[in-house]
Every structure is written in C-alpha cells, then in structure tokens.
Amino acid sequence: MRFTLSCLLFCGLLIFMFCMDQKKSRLLVSGHRGASDIAPENTLVAIMKCVEFGADFTELDVQETKDGQIILLHDDDLKRTTNDSGFIWDKTWADLQQVDAGGWKSPEYTGEPIPLLETVIDSVRGKIKLNIEIKINGHQEKLEERVVAIIEKKNFVNDCIITSFNLASIEKVKRLNSKLKVGLIFDKMPDYDIFSTDWELVSVHHKLVTQHFVEQAHQAGKAVHVWMVNEPELMKKMIAHQVDCIITNRPEILLDLLGSNY
C-alpha cells in the first residue's frame, strides 16, 4: 500500500514537472504585418497566410483615414506599399478602395486591397490573435478611441493586444479599457523603469534582449515579445533566452524550426 502510494506521488510529481516545463517552453509565434516575407504587408492575404501556417499571433499596423476609418498601413504615405501616393490623413475610405496594396510585392497579389481593421477581425476570429500596433503620425484625431470601440463592438478584447512606440497612446488605451493588454514597443531602453509600469508586455527589438532582461521582465510579471527576428540563428538565440513571443516576417520558418527541434 505504502509502495503504491509512493509510486502514485512520484508519477504525479513527474507529470506536474512535465506540464510546468511545457508551459515554460511554450513560445508564441507571431507574423509581422502578416507573413510579410512572402505576401504584401498589412493585407488580409498576408494575415491569412499566418493562419494557414499555424501562427499564434500576427502584428499589424493601424492608422486613421481622413473620414475616421481604421485601416491597416505602416507608413504615413501610400507610396511604398500601394500603387498610389499621398498621406493617409488626406485620404478617405472611398479613396482607398481604389488602391492596389498587393501588386508592388508580386503580380500574383495585384488588386489586394487595403483592409479595414473590422474586416480583419471578422476574418480571423477564432483562428489567430492580433497584435494591433497603433501608429501615431501626428494627424490622428480619435485613433485610440476608434480602435478600442471596434475591439469592444467585435467582442475581441481577449483576442488581441495593443502596442505602440508612443507611451501616451498605450496609456490612453488602458484608460479606455483596462481589460485590454498593452505594451510599449522600443528599440532603445527608455530612460525610466519599464518594469514598474502597468503594461502586460514589452515589445522589444532583439538587440536589447538578453537572458537578464527576460528574467527581469518575467519577475515584474511582463511578457517579452521580440521583433525583427527573421533568421534561423537569431530565432534560436531568442528561444534560448526564453522570450514569450517572436515576431517575424517569416513565421513559417520559425514554425518549421520549432517543429524540427533543431
């Protein structure tokens, strides 16, 4: 009887340790503007590629049109990623519906539109989570309010995180809805204690990530999302540092790497 009980306790301990190890090693894979290495960034086709590959998240960039619509676009100007030009704040949603946001990447994507955030949420619900980066261009009027309103209307609070390079922006989002998880994006260390803030995560350039940095963040209860990680050797380095999420233009490469146990 005593031997049987000891065996059960030992087996239970092994199972617990295995589960804790699995939890600790669970790495989230995120696309960067979708699977942007192979598809046009910030388009629905690039985001659905992430779904197809099995990514956990994709990051995307949102801005505000002249008439207050929330769309996906990284740059202030349309020139680099569409067949049009001009600043986004001078364009209405009707203007953008005539724009090709895919042909610059490859002829096979010609005609791919600039999507609304609402359209993306409707398309990915239950398939992938979103890292919604708020892009501050100096001409926004109610960007945070409109983004939060869309998320609430779509009942998507638990399926996204909100990030920005702009501290005031993520603090505003947190005030608008305290249940939303937010994080500051940075590529150089801020001149204040980032670990004493009320953000749930930090989104940091890989050059700043060390084992010590990750440990500090985890001790402060913050997840570490790391970006610009596109090469396999760098992916391995970030995995070794036990970051929580890797943001990459090449989620398919990272997923293959994780599947192979390299």
Q: Is residue 7 part of a domain?
A: no
Band of pLDDT at residue 221, cut at 50, 70 and 90:
very high
Residue 89 belongs to domain spanning = 26-260
User: Which pLDDT value is given to residue 26?
Assistant: 85
Band of pLDDT at residue 262, cut at 50, 70 and 90:
confident
Q: Which residues contact 256 (CB under 8 A, 6 or more apart)?
A: none
The CATH number for 115's domain is 3.20.20.190
From the candidates 74, 139, 205, 218, which is the catalytic residue?
Answer: 74
User: Which pLDDT value is given to residue 13?
Assistant: 47
Q: Is residue 165 part of a domain?
A: yes
Q: Which carries the bigger pLDDT value, residue 181 or residue 14?
A: 181
Q: Is residue 245 part of a domain?
A: yes
User: Which pLDDT value is given to residue 15?
Assistant: 47
User: Which pLDDT value is given to residue 204?
Assistant: 98
- Return d(Cα 244, Cα 218) in angstroms, integer: 10
Residue 225 appears among annotated catalytic residues: no
Give the chain's mean pLDDT: 93
Count structural domains, the chain. 1
Residue 212 appears among annotated catalytic residues: no
Q: Is residue 13 part of a domain?
A: no
Q: Is residue 2 part of a domain?
A: no
Q: Is residue 6 part of a domain?
A: no
Long-range contacts of 203-210 (CB under 8 A, 24+ apart): 203/131, 203/163, 203/227, 203/247, 206/234, 206/237, 206/238, 209/238, 209/241, 209/243, 210/241
Q: What is the mean pLDDT of residues 192-206?
A: 96
Question: Can you tell me which residue has the tokens 């955030």?
Answer: 117
Q: Is the pLDDT of residue 56 over 50?
A: yes
Percent of all residues in the chain with a pLDDT value above 70, rounded to a whole number? 90
Q: What is the mean pLDDT of residues 22-30?
A: 73
User: Which pLDDT value is given to residue 16?
Assistant: 44
Q: Is residue 8 part of a domain?
A: no
Lowest mean pLDDT among 21-35, 42-56, 89-103, 152-166: 21-35
Q: Is residue 103 part of a domain?
A: yes
User: Which pLDDT value is given to residue 18?
Assistant: 44
Q: What is the mean pLDDT of residues 71-99?
A: 98
Phi-psi region at 50: left, alpha or beta (left = phi > 0; alpha = psi -120 to 50):
alpha
What Rg do the C-alpha atoms of the chain give, in angstroms? Answer: 20
Q: Is the pLDDT of residue 51 over 50?
A: yes
Q: Which of 58, 170, 178 is nearest to 123 (CA)?
A: 58
Q: Is the pLDDT of residue 4 over 80?
A: no
